[in-house]
Structure 1
Amino acid sequence: MPPAANRALATKEAKLFREILKKFPEHGETLCMKGLILTHMGRREEGLELVKKGMRSDLTSHICWHVFGLIQKGEKNYEEALKSYTQALRFDKENLNILRDSAHLQTQLRLYDGLVDTRHALLRLRPTLRQNWVGLAVAYHLSGNLPDARKVLEQYEAVLKNVPDYDVEHSEVLLYHVRLLEEIGDTSAALAFLDANSKSRAIVDRITIMEYRARLMSKLKMPEANNTWRDLIEQNPDFYAYYRGYLLNNGVDLDDITDETRDQALQTLEEFSTALPRAAAPKRLALNIANGDRFKELATAYLTAALEKGVPSLFADVKALYRDSAKRQAIQDIVEGLREELSVTAEPPKALLILSDHARALELLDLGIVHTPTLPELYAFKGRVLKRCGDPFGAALCLDESRVLDLQDRFLNTKCAKYRLRAGFVDEASEILGLFTKKDAASPGADLEDMQSLLYLSEEADAHLRKGNLGAALKKYLVVQKVFNEFEDDQFDFHGYSLRRFTINVYLDMISWEDRLRSHPAYIHTAINASKIWVQLYDDPSIARSKSAGAGVSDAEKKAKNKAKKAAKKVQEEVKKATTTTSGEDKGLEPQPAKDDDPTATSSCRRQILSSELRNNVDAWIATYDVAVRHKKYLQAVKALNSAHALDPEHPELHLRLAHFRHTLSSASQLPPEPMGPVVKDALAKLLPDELSLEHFNAQYQQKHSSSGKAILASAKVSRLLSAPVEQIEALSSVCSTRTCRLISRLRSTRSLS
Structure 2
Amino acid sequence: MSKVLPTPAKRILPSKEATLFKELLTLYETRQLKKGQKTADQILKKFPEHGETLCMKGLVLTHMGKREEGIELVKKGVRLDLTSHICWHVFGLIQKGEKNYEEALKSYTQALRFDKENLNILRDAAQLQTQLRLYEALVDTRHTLLKLRPTLRQHWIGLAVAYHLNGNLVEAKKTLEHYERTLKNIPAYDVEHSETLLYHIHVLEEMGESSDALALLDVNAKSRAIVDRTAIMEIRARLLTKLGSEEAEHAWRVLIEHNPDCYDYFRGYLSNQGLSLDTPSTDALTILRDFSTQLPKAAAPRRLALSIASRDDFRELVKPYLLSGLTKGVPSLFVDIKSLYKDDSKRQIVEEIVEAARTDFSPDSSAPSSSSASVEPTTYLWTLYFLAQHYSYLSRPALAISAIELALAHTPTLPELHTCKARTLKRAGDLYGAARCADESRLLDGQDRFLNTKCAKYLLRAGLVEEASSILGLFTKKDAASPGADLEDMQSLLYLLEEADAHYRNGKLNLALKKYLAVQKIFNEIEDDQYDFHGYNLRKFTINIYLKLIKWEDRLRSHPAYIKAALSASQIYIAVHDDPSITSAASSSTAPLTDAEKKAKKKAKKAAQKVHEDAKKAPAPAAHEDKGLEAGVPKDDDPEGIKLLSVADPLEQAYKLLAPLGTLATENIDVWIAIYDVAIRRKKLLQAVKALNHARSLDAENPELHIRLVHFRQAASALPQQPPAPIGSVFTEALSKLLPEEVSLDTYNSQYLQRHSSSPRAVLAAAKVAHALQAPLPDVEATVFSTFGPDIKLDIPTALLFVLFLTTLKSSRLEEFRANCDARFELSTLFKPLTELEVLKKRALVANDPQPKADE
Specify if TM > 0.5: yes
TM-score, normalised by the number of residues in structure 1: 0.95
5+ residue gaps, structure 1, are: none
Corresponding residue of 1:603:
643
Query: Partner of 2:792: helix, strand, or coil?
Result: helix
1:453 maps to which of 486, 492, 495 = 492
Q: Deviations over 1:220-259 (max 9, x none)?
A: 12222222222222221111111111111122111233xx
Alignment of 1:622-641 (within 5 A): 622-641=673-692
SS of corresponding position for 2:339: helix
- Structure 1 residues 552 and 429, CA gap change in structure 2 (3 angstroms): farther
Query: How big is each residue's C-alpha offset from its partner over 1:419-443, in whole Å with a ceiling of 9 and x where there is no partner?
Result: 1111111122222222332232222
**2-side partners of 1:670 and 1:22: how far apart?**
69
TM-score (norm. length: structure 2): 0.84
2:509–2:586 contact (8 Å) kept in structure 1: no
> SS at 2:725's partner residue?
coil
Distance 1:726 1:564 in 2: 51
The Cα shift of 1:379 comes to 2.0
Q: Distance in 2 between matches of 1:553 and 1:419?
A: 27
Report the alpha carbon displacement of residue 453 of structure 1 after superposing the two structures with TM: 0.8
Residue from 528, 532, 546 that aligns with 1:507: 546
Q: For the residues of structure 1 that align with 2:260 and 2:382, how far apart are their CA atoms?
A: 28
Matched, 1:146 2:221: no
Pairing 1:298–2:373 present: no
Over 3 Å counting, the alpha-carbon distance change for 1:673 and 1:514 in structure 2 is same
Matched, 1:529 2:568: yes
- 1:171 equivalent to 2:250? Answer no
1:139 deviates by 0.6
Q: Which residue of 1 aligns with 2:342?
A: 323
Alpha carbons of structure 1 residues 22 and 579: separation in structure 2 relative to 1, 3 Å: farther
How far 1:671 moved relative to its partner?
A: 4.0
Residue 436 of structure 2 corresponds to 397
What's the CA shift for 1:735? Answer: 4.1
Match of 1:746 among 818, 821, 836: 821
Q: Deviations over 1:677-736 (max 9, x none)?
A: 332222121111111111111111111111111111111111121211112211213543
Distance across 1 between alignment mates of 2:604 and 2:623: 28
2:750 to 686, 696, 699: 699
After TM superposition, what 4+ stretches of structure 1 lie above 6 angstroms from structure 2? Answer: 579-585
2:233 to 200, 210, 222: 210
Tell me what 1:571 maps to: 611
Is residue 349 of structure 1 aligned with residue 381 of structure 2?
Answer: yes
Task: Quote the Cα distance in structure 2 between the aligned partners of 1:335 and 1:584.
Answer: 61
Q: How far apart in 2 are the matches of 1:578 and 1:566? A: 18
Q: Distance in 2 between matches of 1:571 and 1:243?
A: 52
List per-residue Cα deviations over 1:187-242 (Å, max 9, x = no partner). Answer: 11100000001111111111111111111111112222222222222221111111
Q: 1:639 to 1:582 in 2, by over 3 A?
A: closer
The answer (yes or no) to whether the contact 2:675–2:691 under 8 Å persists in 1 is yes
CA distance in 1, matches of 2:37, 2:509: 55
Residues 558 and 275 from structure 1, CA distance in 2 versus in 1: closer, same or farther, beyond 3 angstroms? Answer: farther
Post-superposition offset of 1:574:
3.5
Shift of 1:504: 0.3
CA distance in 2, matches of 1:362, 1:707: 29
1:182 partner letter:
E
Q: Are the structure 2 counterparts of residues 548 and 647 from structure 1 closer, same or farther at C-alpha, using a change threshold of 3 Å?
A: farther
The structure-2 alpha-carbon separation of the partners of 1:747 and 1:20, relative to structure 1 and needing over 3 Å to count, comes to: farther
Instruction: State yes or no: 1:337 paired with 2:356.
Output: yes
SS in 2 for 1:442: coil
- Tell me the percent identity: 63
- Tell me the CA shift for residue 578 of structure 1: 4.7
3-state secondary structure, aligned to 2:232: helix
Between stretches 361-370 and 295-304, larger displacement belongs to 361-370
Matches within 5 A, 1:222-237: 222-237=245-260
Match of 1:662 among 705, 713, 721: 713
Question: In structure 1, which of residues 715, 718, 739 is the aligned counterpart of residue 766 of structure 2?
Answer: 715
Unaligned runs of 5+ in 2: 1-26, 366-371, 648-652, 800-819, 838-856
2:215 to 189, 192, 199: 192
Measure how far apart 1:33 and its partner are: 1.6
Instruction: Determine if contact 2:37/2:61 at 8 Å carries over to the other structure.
Output: no
Q: 1:747 to 1:500 in 2, by over 3 A?
A: farther
Post-superposition offset of 1:17: 3.6
Q: Which residue of 2 aligns with 1:462?
A: 501
SS at 1:751's partner residue?
A: coil
Query: In structure 1, what is the Cα distance between the partners aligned to 2:285 and 2:95?
Result: 60
- Structure 2 counterpart of 1:516, from 555, 577, 592: 555
CA distance in 1, matches of 2:588, 2:345: 49
Q: What SS does the aligned partner of 1:588 have?
A: helix
- Looking at structure 2, the residues matched to 205 and 272 of structure 1 have their Cα atoms a distance apart, in angstroms, of 26
Aligned to 2:291: 272
Contact in 2 for aligned 1:112/1:139 (Cα 8 Å): yes
1:161 maps onto 2:184 in alignment: yes
Contact 2:621 2:628 in 1 (8 A): no
Distance between the aligned counterparts of 1:670 and 1:601, measured in 2? Answer: 39
Counterpart check, 1:201 vs 2:224: yes
Aligned residue identity for 2:678: V
Tell me by how many angstroms 1:511 deviates: 0.6
Does the CA-based 8 Å contact 2:429-2:830 persist in structure 1?
A: no
**1:9 shift after superposition:** 7.9
Measured in 1, the distance between the counterparts of 2:622 and 2:282 equals 70
Which region of structure 1 is more displaced relative to structure 2, 372-381 or 41-50?
372-381
Match of residue 478, structure 2, among 416, 439, 458? 439
Choose 600-609 or 342-351, whichever is displaced more.
342-351
Q: CA deviation at 1:624?
A: 1.2
Distance 1:9 1:308, change over 3 A: closer
Q: Equivalent of 1:285, from 269, 293, 304?
A: 304
Residues 553/538 of structure 1: CA separation in 2 closer, same or farther (3 Å cut): farther
Distance 1:616 1:484, change over 3 A: same
Give, as a single letter, the amino acid of the residue that structure 1 aligns with 2:383: A
CA distance in 2, matches of 1:111, 1:661: 39
Residues 320-375 of structure 1, C-alpha deviation per residue, up to 9 Å, x if partnerless? 11111111111111111111222213843321222312222222222222333233
Contact 2:33 2:64 (8 Å CA) reproduced: no
Secondary structure at the aligned position of 1:740 is classed as coil
CA distance in 1, matches of 2:622, 2:240: 57
Secondary structure of the corresponding residue to residue 546 of structure 1: helix
Report the alpha carbon displacement of residue 509 of structure 1 after superposing the two structures with TM. Answer: 0.7
Q: Secondary structure at the match of 2:778?
A: helix
The reply on whether 1:650 has 2:725 as its aligned counterpart is no
